[in-house]
Structure 1
Amino acid sequence: MPKTSDSSQGKRREALVLVQAGHTHQEIAEITGLTLNQIYYAIRTRCFATLRDVPRIATVATAGFYYSPVFAWERRFHHQYPMDTFQSYEKMFADIILDPQHVTLVVEDTYNPSESEKTEPVIEPDRKMPLPKQGNSVIVGAATWKLEPSSPRYGQFMNPADSNDPSLNFDGGRSRDKSPRHADMLDDKCDAAEEKYFNGNQLVDMSVVHPAYWRRGHGTELVKWGKSLADLDYMAQGVVAAAMGEKLYMSLGYQKLDHVKVEDKDGPGPHELSVGILKYFGSTYRRSD
């Protein structure tokens, strides 16, 4: 596919929002100036997740989040209980997909049969998953956003069929891979920071790409789509990010407002963790200060 300008890519992200809002492809073409073929491509490569995507998303999350220092801080017993990690991510994403206040976007790429060799964690699904064939498109990245409390978009990004499918049950496992104390330490401080800095704003919950598909622009595209949503809705958007994510967000216009640090010198490491508190004020956001 030929390279496109940032303006064209922004229009494609806008098209994805508009199609989910119920606009016809012709209406989207008139609003964005994109051709119908460009609209079809934008919708094909980035789509909203459904419950049937959850096992694959859990695979991507386990593979990608493993390299975040937050994973090492919270999931200290992953190697003893890898299925618990997988089940935890399944439930986390399933709950978000079913929550009308959330948006879950996935990005696809051509399947790499050796993808498991490109990541170190133990990925142990709790259910039989069909093995993709070489050349197939598979989910390689996912991101979730929490809409602002006043958003008119509640439920707009959901698939109605998900709530009527009793066969898709994700119980979350037993969480033996986690250290509850360390997870609570971080959650308490992050919750306080979100309340202080992001009250009334949109929030980036999670963003992850499978390591086998890094350096292809997938993470950047997911973040840019979220920025487009903030711009369309005249909103600011907050995110709590570890070092690698912080660099990406700041390169795309997010401003660092603060950081959160947790420490525990007892027992085996890691003994400390720091994450950044960042915010995108947007090209159209009207600041009150």
Structure 2
Amino acid sequence: MSPIQHPPLSPGTRPALPSDIPRLGLLYVASFHYSPNAKWARPYYPQYPEDMLAQYTAWSIQYLEDPQFIVLVAIDAFDPSERSKTDAHFPEGVTTGLGEDVKEGDQVPVATLGHRDAMINVENAARVRCGFEKLVELDMLVTHPAYWGRRHGTKLVKWSLEYSRLNKVGQGVVGPPMGMRVYLKEGFVEKEKMTWEGDEISPEGLAKQIAIYDVE
């Protein structure tokens, strides 16, 4: 097996570091709020913003610890007013103390777990049909709304595709139409569309697409 090759990084990008973890959690919340995915999987997020922040911060840790993931970040000058440029909700106040306890029994059921599980099951079945086991996957791409329009996302996608070309391995991506526009513009080809009908929890429903970048 040939050694894995990594393309040179574009100016303004670098590998994510453990010190980025708190910022990554905030970034996910600020940007993911605009995705239909969030409204479907987390319809009660405005009432419980700390839950989403904690979840995405935990995922950031998992991604950085897992050698199967490559996590890159784009760097820009800090905008002190960035919080006012997103409609996302953030927990109020600051943490001033810590206590730990062990809770017995099962986890409290969550009304939206059915939404999440239905979405994951359909997506995974589509991944199998599209041959994702032979591909690398562009798992997540997020940009804070305060920094939209500066091509940060495009820069990260271009690096990802150069990685595929260097290593001669195709690449797959799953996402809603809003983000899919970026991928299709860079050479991904749509393979499937998936839809979930709305209900009393999420009346708008959800639509996502699967696309593949072929290096052959």
TM-score category (smaller protein): 0.7 to 0.9
Question: TM-score normalized by structure 1?
Answer: 0.65
Cα distance in 1, alignment partners of residues 8 and 92 from structure 2: 34
Q: Which aligned pairs between 1:150-161 and structure 2 lie closer than 5 A? A: none
Superposed displacement of residue 176, structure 1: 8.9
Equivalent residue number for residue 122 of structure 2? 189
Following superposition, the deviation at residue 90 of structure 1 comes to 0.5
Alpha-carbon deviations, 1:223-281, whole Å to 9, x = none?
1110011011001000001011111111111000011112243x243342110110011
Q: Secondary structure at the match of 1:258?
A: strand
Distance in 2 between residues matched to 1:228 and 1:175, nearest whole Å: 44
Aligned residue for 1:116?
A: 83
Mark the CA change 1:51 to 1:126 in structure 2 (over 3 Å): closer, same or farther.
Answer: farther
- Counterpart contact for 1:256–1:278, Cα < 8 Å: yes
The residue that corresponds to 1:70 in the other structure is 37
Secondary structure at 2:179 match in 1? helix
Secondary structure in 2 matching 1:239: strand
Show CA shifts across 1:186-230 (max 9, x none): 000001111221121100110000000000000100111100110
- Partner amino acid for 1:232? L
1:234 aligns with 2:168: yes
Write 1 or 2 for the structure with the bigger share of strand. 1
SS of the aligned residue for 2:124 comes to helix
Paired position in structure 1 for 2:213: 280
Number of residue pairs matched by the alignment: 199
Give secondary structure in 2 for the equivalent of 1:52.
Answer: helix
Quick one: structure 1 residues 176 and 85, their matched pair in 2 at CA, closer, same or farther if it must change by over 3 Å? farther
User: Which residue pairs with 1:7 in the alignment?
Assistant: none
Partner Cα separation in structure 1 for residue 57 and residue 109 of structure 2 = 15
Unaligned runs of 5+ in 1: 1-12, 17-41, 129-173
- Alignment partner, residue 262 of structure 1: 196
**In structure 2, do the counterparts of structure 1 residues 221 and 80 end up closer, same or farther at CA, with 3 Å as the change threshold?**
same
Give the whole-Å Cα distance in 1 for the aligned partners of 2:110 and 2:81: 26
Residues 118-160 of structure 1: CA deviation (Å, up to 9, x unaligned): 00111238976xxxxxxxxxxxxxxxxxxxxxxxxxxxxxxxx
Q: Is the 8 A contact 1:80 1:177 kept in 2?
A: no
**Corresponding residue for residue 202 of structure 1:** 136
Inter-partner Cα distance in structure 1 for 2:108 and 2:139: 20
**Which amino acid in 2 is paired with 1:238?**
G
CA shift in 2, pair 1:59/1:14, >3 Å: same
TM-score by length of 2: 0.86
Alpha-carbon RMSD across the aligned residues, in angstroms, is 2.2
Which one scores higher on RCO, CA 8 angstroms, separation ≥ 6?
Answer: 2
Structure 1 vs Structure 2: percent identity of aligned residues?
32
Gaps of 5+ in 2: 1-5, 96-106
Aligned equivalent of 2:46, options 79, 90, 96: 79
Cα 1:117–1:178, aligned 2, differ >3 Å: closer, same or farther?
farther
In the other structure, the counterpart of 1:146 is none
Matches within 5 A, 1:98-109: 98-109=65-76
1:78-129 deviations in Å (ceiling 9; x for gaps): 111111110000011110110011110100100000000100111238976x
